[in-house]
Amino acid sequence: MKKSHPLLLSLLSGLLLYAAWPMSPLTPLIFVAWVPLLWLQERGLSGKRFFGWTYLSMLTWNATTTWWIWNASPPGAAGAIVANSLLMCLPFAAGYFVKRRMGDRAGHIALVAFWLSFEYFHLRDWGLSWPWLTLGNVFAGHTGWVQWYAFTGVSGGGCWILVTNILVFQMLATKKWRVYSGWLAAVLLVPIGISIGLSARERHLAELPAEAGTPARNIVIVQPNIDPYKKLSTGSFDAMLQKLIRISESGLDSNTTLLIWPETALYMENHINEENMKGNYFLNPLWDFLRRHPHISLLTGVESYRMYKNGQQTTTARKVEGDLYVDDYNAAMVLDSTGPLAIYHKTMLVPGVETLPPFLHILDSWFEKFGGTSSGYTGQTARTVLPAAGQYHIAPAVCYESIYGEFMSRYVRNGADLIAVITNDGWWGNTPGYRQHENYARLRCIETRRWLVRSANTGVSCVIDPLGNIVELRSWDTEAFIRRTVPVESGLTFYVAFGDLVSWLAIAITILITGQLLWRGLKSFAKNKSRHG
């Protein structure tokens, strides 16, 4: 491999990453997927050439894994793949820089620290956040391996992968098989052993008998299977609403306390005024339905807006006409027959589809939206827990917000005892996208030790236990409902209580390495200056 052409090494790394990714059965390949790029570092290439080959590898990984975004938005897909691949090169380029100036060991430590720091900041709401390929997500289909995410979150998985790859590379490069094989076996097997132990403990606690008098409440999850593109083109709101009500009526019983509809289940061409929902004639069937079932709360997605007069508008509102301004939202609401009880506005908006950072607004006309406005949505900063009947306190995740581990953990710190994901994955079609999205949600259960319910318009809707096991689901492209008793969990995991300490450690190491480089640079500058004095 050491003498292989850079093109082969670059493509091999990208293809191995793709082959390991959910929903592939070849997940163990992730432990060697970075080895070709580590060999590429040994070739003595210039910084520019190394960056170029690394970019090809990242582009291969992004394109083969997330190509399905194209079905929803070709410009959005192109932008996400090209830009994300470029950003992913930065930790490798920086690690290569350190390796050439401080040696192999420092270079490998820097690579781990730089990559985890990059992922941490890429999970922030900065306008181009696209963390679909966060390394720790690769184990979404093997939750039995990573029960320790309750302590580390997915960043622990990223560290595990990078350290293992470096050990494999060192074993191959130095041919010190005995030395590195022992370390490699320990690094691979000890985390899995810990995970098995944690799984057994949590399963035992879950099997303890419930306290006497605990109500047998249940949740009904609706999967209406409405074509999202036809919904936008026909505008037949009444027919869609009646379908949601009909499926719900089939699933409800006297013990149901919470009903869940998917993202943008309530959608009108001109959106819905949050402050006058009871006065909206087209919503009358909804209020009639809720009056027939006064014991339930409805959690639903709503495409909504709020209007302001000049001088009263928010800093995010856009002018529509005259002295009127508006904020548009992709919202989650809890409703009963009296109207909205609690509202959450989606925070983590999809780049190129639901939002663009200010420095890219020149490209507005190039990006399509599905169900939004040309100026994008307005989000919120607070992690608002939504109370519902049956003593549930809901952590709402609208669409791909469920990918953000630390983001979702803040709801649990704020008192959430149930995670609810409402989504509309039908934009992508029958592709790996919706299956990856469903499985990523399993990691949130491990991190928080909370039950998770998922209502997806076209599928997959499911119920996931605190160990990340899918206990019931409804398959893709079917009209269906789930009725399931879901316990309320309390207590905080280490990860929820203390946050992403693995990433903070990586950031600290990144700062130390950067400081060391700057110090060396200043000493060299001073030395040269005195020499030419």
Q: Are residues 375 and 231 in the same domain?
A: yes
pLDDT at position 243, please?
Answer: 96
Q: Are residues 352 and 466 in the same domain?
A: yes
Q: Are residues 243 and 193 in the same domain?
A: no
Full pLDDT tens readout for the chain, 533 residues: 667 789 999 999 999 999 999 999 999 999 999 999 999 998 888 999 999 999 999 999 999 999 998 887 787 788 889 999 999 999 999 999 999 999 999 999 999 999 999 999 999 888 788 899 999 999 999 999 999 999 999 999 999 999 999 999 999 999 998 889 999 999 999 999 999 999 988 776 555 444 445 557 899 999 999 988 877 655 588 999 999 999 999 999 999 999 999 999 999 877 899 999 999 999 999 999 999 999 999 999 999 999 998 888 887 888 888 889 999 999 999 999 999 999 999 999 887 677 766 555 555 554 444 333 345 788 898 999 999 987 899 999 999 999 999 999 999 999 999 999 999 999 889 999 999 999 999 999 999 999 999 999 998 999 999 999 999 999 999 999 999 999 988 899 999 999 999 999 999 999 999 999 999 888 877 777 777 65
Q: Are residues 294 and 401 in the same domain?
A: yes
| Average pLDDT over the chain, rounded to an integer | 90
The Cα–Cα gap between 331 and 126 comes to 20
pLDDT at position 369, please?
Answer: 43
pLDDT at position 401, please?
Answer: 96
Pull the structure tokens for residue 288: 């009639």
Q: Are residues 345 and 252 in the same domain?
A: yes
Q: Are residues 448 and 476 in the same domain?
A: yes
- Structural domain contains residue 1: no
pLDDT at position 75, please?
Answer: 77
Number of structural domains, the chain? 2
DSSP 57-83: HHHHHHHHHHGGGGGT-HHHHHHHHHH
Q: Write the single-letter amino acid at 444.
A: R
DSSP 286-328: HHHHHHH-TT-EEEEEEEEEEEEETTT--TT-EEEETTEEEEE
pLDDT at position 363, please?
Answer: 53
DSSP 74-113: HHHHHHHHHHHHHHHHHHHHHHHHHHHHH-HHHHHHHHHH
- Give me the residues paired with residue 93 across strands: none
pLDDT at position 295, please?
Answer: 93
The Cα–Cα gap between 425 and 430 comes to 9
Q: Are residues 480 and 521 in the same domain?
A: no
- Structural domain contains residue 213: no
Rounded to whole angstroms, what are the CA distances from 312 to 40, 330, 485, 529? 58, 22, 45, 59
pLDDT at position 436, please?
Answer: 96
Q: Are residues 322 and 469 in the same domain?
A: yes
- Structural domain contains residue 210: no
Pull the structure tokens for residue 399: 């669409």
Pairing of strands 318-321, 339-345: unpaired
- Structural domain contains residue 69: yes
pLDDT at position 79, please?
Answer: 83
- Structural domain contains residue 268: yes
**CATH no. for residue 391?**
3.60.110.10
Q: Are residues 290 and 162 in the same domain?
A: no
Q: Are residues 483 and 506 in the same domain?
A: no
Rounded to whole angstroms, what are the CA distances from 515 to 158, 511, 520? 24, 6, 9
pLDDT at position 373, please?
Answer: 39
pLDDT at position 215, please?
Answer: 57
- Structural domain contains residue 123: yes
pLDDT at position 208, please?
Answer: 46
- Structural domain contains residue 270: yes
Q: Name the pTM for this structure.
A: 0.92
- Structural domain contains residue 212: no
Q: Are residues 189 and 235 in the same domain?
A: no
Neighbouring CB atoms inside 10 A of 20's CB total: 22
Range(s) of the domain holding residue 99: 6-205+501-529
- Greatest alpha-carbon span in the chain: 89
The Cα–Cα gap between 61 and 56 comes to 9
Pull the structure tokens for residue 195: 């995970």
Whether the Cβ atoms of residue 354 and residue 376 lie closer than 8 Å to each other: yes
The Cα–Cα gap between 88 and 73 comes to 22
Q: Are residues 175 and 31 in the same domain?
A: yes
* Peptide linkage before 496 cis (omega within 30 of 0): no
CA atoms within 13 A on the CB side of 344: 28
